[in-house]
Amino acid sequence: SVDELIDAKILAIGARIEQWITYHGFALNVDPDMSHFNLIVPCGIQDKAVVSMRQVLGKEVDFGTVRQAVIRRFGEVFGVKMEEATLSESDQVLALSGLVPSVT
């Protein structure tokens, strides 16, 4: 029902601090296999259903379009220029920061 969708969980935001390093991220349910959520209690919230954008909108959702919109808005909200990087480039930046050992 519509009421169930309104009160359901579609996004998770997390943060952790470990040894003076912060880790943070989020997960947006665009169009996952919803049966996987029967195996877990997302974020320990037992009394809320989990939904996807596809369920809420009632139509197929293009992941690439959502991804680009999230990247654009993230940059706007936090006032940063977003740039795509390969995993190798990301590893190099982290190694240069001294936060992780160099990857060879």
- Annotated active-site positions, please? 43
DSSP tag of 31:
S
Read off the tokens for 10. 């579609």
CB 12 within 8 A of CB 26: yes
Cα–Cα distance between 94 and 70 in angstroms, integer? 23
CB 82 within 8 A of CB 74: yes
Cα–Cα distance between 22 and 91 in angstroms, integer? 17
